[in-house]
Structure 1
C-alpha cells in the first residue's frame, strides 16, 4: 500500500503530491498532536479486547471450551483461540490494505474500528457452551478472526499516518504514540478487571463477571467513532487504485524487506504479549499468586510501557534507531531466561514486579525505536501494506505466546520456560537488525529523522 497522499492544495488545480501531508487550509489550523490522538484511539480498543481476553482466559476457556483434559486443557484452548486471530492479520494487511487504498486512510481507519467493535460485542454477549454447544466456540473463534483481519491493516495505517504528520525531527516520538495508546488499554483492562474481581465472588467472576470489562469496552466505541470522524483528511486523494492482487505482487517484489521486517518485530510481539496478556494467567496458574496481585503487576507494566515508549521514540530521533534496537535486543537475549529462573525460584509480588518492569523497559526502548525504523525501512510504494504484512507475520508467532508458554511449561515442568521463548525471539530480532541495512533509500519521508 502506498504512502499516505497529500490533500490537494485548495489554491491549486494541479494534482497532489504523495507521501506527505499538506499544511492546514487557510483559516483552519490543525494540531498534529490532536490528529495523533485521534488516529491512535482504535489501537486502544483493539488492545483492550485482547488484554481482557488474556486476563480472563481461564474463565473464557471454561465458558466456551470445556475439555475432558480439565482446566489446563481449557486454558490452552482459550489461549489458542486468542492466538488464532493473529493468523488473519497478514490476510487483512493485503485485502484491507488494497481496499483502504481505494477509500482513503481516514475512512479505512473507521472501517477497522467498526470490525473490531463487532468482534468485541460478539465475545461479550455470546452464550456459553452449555447453552449453544459447539456453535458457541465456533462463533467466538469467528469473532477473533474478524478482529485479527481488521487489525492486519490498523497498525500499519496508524503508524504511517503518524509518521506523515510528525513535525521535522520528531518522527520517532510521534510514531511511538501508536504503541503508547495500546498501553492505556493494558492499564484500563487491568484496573477494571481488578475492580470487578474485588467486587464479585470467584463464582460470579467465572459465571459472568469476565463479561463486564468487555461490555465496558463496547460502551466506549461511540466515543472512539466521534474521535476518528474528526481525523484530519490526510488521504483526500489516494495515490492509486490498487487491487489485492496488485498489492500482493508489490509485496512479493519486496519479500526480502518484508521478511527482515517480520524478524525486527518478533521481539516486540513476543515480549509484549508475555508481559501483558499472559501475566495474569501466569501469576495465578504457575506462580500461585492472587488474581489481584497479578492484575496490579500488569497495570504497573502498562504504565511502565507508556513511559518508555515515547522516551525511546524521542531518543531515537537524536541518536538513531539501530543503536537502541541493538542494545535492547542483546540485553533481552542475555537476561530473559536467568530473570525468569530467579522469579520461578521464589515467586512473590516483589519478584514478579521487578522482573516484568525490567522486561517492560527493554520492550519499551526496543519498540519505541523499531516501529519508526520499520516505517522508514519499507519502500514508499508499499509502505503501509509492507509495514502491515511484516508486523502481521511477526504477530502470527507473538500472538501465540500465551499458548506456547503454557505448553512449554506443561511439557517441561519448568516455570522459567517463558524466558527461553523470549530469548529466542530476541535472537531472531537481532538477526533482523543486522540484516536490515536501512532505512530503504526510497523510504525516508522525514529527512530530519536519522
Structure 2
C-alpha cells in the first residue's frame, strides 16, 4: 500500500498582525508594532501550498482561529457585549487585546504532535494538541485546534485524538516544532525524534539563561506514552541551551528531518554524537539507513540561521530519492547562507535542489516554511478517510484565493484591533470558510 507525507499548511487568519508577543523569537520582537498585510500573508501561504501541489506533493490546509478571542477576554474579567469587551480591553489592557487577536495559529507546526499508524500500538494515527503553555497568546489555541483537527480527521477507525497536556510549565508542549520522524518509507515503522529544551524535574539537564526553553522532556515523554510508541522507536535529545539563548526558540529553527535524513546545525544539540548513534541504531533495526547533514558553524553561524531561517525549511523527498529544500527568500538574501546552499546542492549529495518562496509576512512575525505546515504520514486508506474538503486541489486554491480577496484587509495596525467591526469580519469569513472546507461547526461562535 502506498503511503505519503501530507503537509497541512496553516491558512493565515484575517487578524495577522505584528504584536511582538513572542519573547525569544528575534523576528517577532524586532518587527513589533509594524503594520501588517493580512491579505498578502494569506495569499503568500496559499501560493506555497499551490506550488507544492503542482510539484506532485500531497497538500492540505488547516483553518485559522476566531480572533479576537472575546471569550478569552471575558475569562480575564471584561464584560458586556462583544463590542464593549473589545472597547474595554483596548482602553484598560491593550496588550491583552493584542494577544487575543494574534493569528499565530497560522504556524501549525505547533498545532499538535502526530504519530503515524505504523508507529503506534493500536495502529491508528495519533494527534495530541499542543498546550503552547509558554506564551499566553498561544495557550488559548488548543481547544479550537482540537475541534478543527477532529473535523479533518474524524474517522475513529483510523484516527485518535488526545487533549492537550496539563497547562502547567512542567508539561510545556510546542507540538511538531520539536518533533520529527525518521523512516525508510512513510508507511513503515520509524523512529520518532523528540527534542526538549529542559527537564521540569531533573536538574542534571542544563537550561538556557536568557530565553525560556518551551518544550520539556516530561511533555515529550507524555506524548510518546499517549501515542503508544515503543521505547525502541523513540529518541529524546536536548536542544543546546546556548542556541536557545540566541533565538532558537524551537528545534525547527536549527534542524529539520525527513525520511532517513537529519539536516542540522553543528551547535543544535547537546551530546550530538551520542544522539546520532542512537538514531542510527534504532532506525537500522526497522530497516532504515539514517544519514545526517551537518552544517558547520564556520559556514553558517547560529545568528545566520536565526535570521535567514535556513533550517525552518521543508525537506521533501523526490520520486528519484533525492531531496528538495523549500526555503524563504531571506536565505537568498544572506550571502553566507546562500553560498552554503549553492555548495550543498552542487555537491551531488542528498539535497539536490533548493526552491525559494516569498513568505515575508510570516517571516517578519517569526515563522518560516516549516512553521506553516503540520506533517501527517498517511497510507492510502487513511488518506481516503481524511475530510476531502481540506485536501488542496486547483478548484480549492481558486476558492480560497477568492475568499481571501473578499474578506481580508490589506493593512492592519494595533489601533485597528480595537475596531469591533474586525470581529464581525472575521466571523463572517470563518463561517464561509467552514463551508468551503466542509468542516461543520468548529468555532465557538458557531457552537455556542
TM-score (norm 2): 0.27
Structure 1 length-normalised TM: 0.27
